[in-house]
Amino acid sequence: MATALAMAAAIALADLAGYERLAHVVNRLDPVLVPVIFVGQLIGYLGYVLAVRDIARVEDGPGLSFSLTTRTVLAGFGVFAATHSAGGFAVDYWAFRRAGLRRDEAIARVLGLGALEYAVLAPAALISAIALLFGLGGHVENGMTYPWLLVVPGFLAALWVSSPRRADRLSDPGDGGPVRQWFAHGVAGVWKLRCLATRPLRHGAGLAGVSLYWFGDILSLWAALQVFEAKVSTPALILAYATGYIATRRSLPGGGAGVVEVLMTFALVWVGMPLAPALMGVLMYRAFNFWLPIVPALAVLPTVRSLHRDYKRAERDLDEEQG
């Protein structure tokens, strides 16, 4: 299904761009920067491994081995992200449960990891939007810049709900329904992020890891565009990238197949890039970002199955204790 969605999106965009224009862009292909795309992905994977390990250790949590975390991240970005409705975060949840965390603690760390991603990317997009509003980096439609100003009230809201005076109360679901429970889990996840961010000496690896992840992935996109001589300023590139990843490939069902191709391509068009080179650059980027990781992910499928078995065993043991 992921393959079909990606192919359908690519064909529809190619038809829109025009095959003659695409052929002209392909003829300009310069393979010199192709290795940079691969290097960017390696940097991103290393950064995400550091982030997962650090979010697990928040508030005296378990220490995950580098080997297990690497295999978990590979699975989450590879096969599992493409075949599971919960995306790669489900594998993180199993790893946290296997390490001995209670269900609510594991969920809080998974949500905290997702919040950590945007705690780095959203401010970078906001700064880029402000720079573009002041004419630094080219002209971009206001519809691309103004929405990112909402990062400020979103940040203030996160600070408010995660205040030590409120976090304990708001993160307690009590006997509430599903909405109340997920709100409580969300607050608990933001609290984990706050603990990580306010203790840089202890948890600097988490913030540095996510920063490396975004840097590596944006570097890959930049190099993929340069392969087709598609020029774009740094603020415009960051803004287009962040807009294309309103939801990250690790959280999207099917790894965002089809969705990311469309959103990322149009985001680049909205910052001033012609459709044909934008599409070819995004397809080249996704070849390394989504399809290539499936190869090493196949090798770690036994780890995923082991994590799932251990998770199910822990759930059964808990049910027996409560029964």
* pLDDT of 322: 47
Within a domain: residue 29?
no
Total domains present in the chain: 1
pTM given for the model = 0.88
* pLDDT of 64: 86
* pLDDT of 309: 72
Rounded CA separation 84/217 (Å): 22
Within a domain: residue 35?
no
Rounded CA separation 264/250 (Å): 16
Within a domain: residue 64?
yes
Residue 7: HSE in the Cβ half-sphere, 13 Å Cα cutoff = 4
Q: Which structural domain range is residue 259 located in? A: 2-24+44-322
3-state SS class at 28: coil
Within a domain: residue 32?
no
Within a domain: residue 130?
yes
Would you give the distance in Å from CA 81 to the centre of its chain?
A: 11
DSSP-derived letter for residue 250 is: T
Within a domain: residue 36?
no
* pLDDT of 227: 93
Q: In the 3-class helix/strand/coil scheme, how is 120-164 assigned residue by residue? A: HHHHHHHHHHHHHHCCCCCCCCHHHHHHHHHHHHHHHHHHHHCCC
Show the tokens assigned to 105: 């603690």
First and final C-alpha spacing in the chain: 40
Within a domain: residue 38?
no
* pLDDT of 244: 84
Rounded CA separation 13/2 (Å): 17
- Report yes or no: 89 and 114 within 8 Å, Cβ to Cβ: yes
Q: How many CB atoms lie within 10 A of CB 32?
A: 9
> Digits of tens for pLDDT over the chain (323 positions)?
777 888 888 899 999 989 899 999 999 888 999 999 999 999 999 999 999 999 999 988 888 888 888 888 887 777 555 555 556 677 788 788 878 888 889 899 999 998 999 899 999 999 999 999 988 888 888 888 999 999 999 999 999 999 988 888 888 887 778 888 889 999 999 999 999 998 888 888 999 999 999 999 999 999 999 999 888 999 999 999 998 876 555 656 666 677 888 889 999 999 989 999 999 999 999 989 888 877 777 776 676 677 667 666 666 665 555 45
Within a domain: residue 33?
no
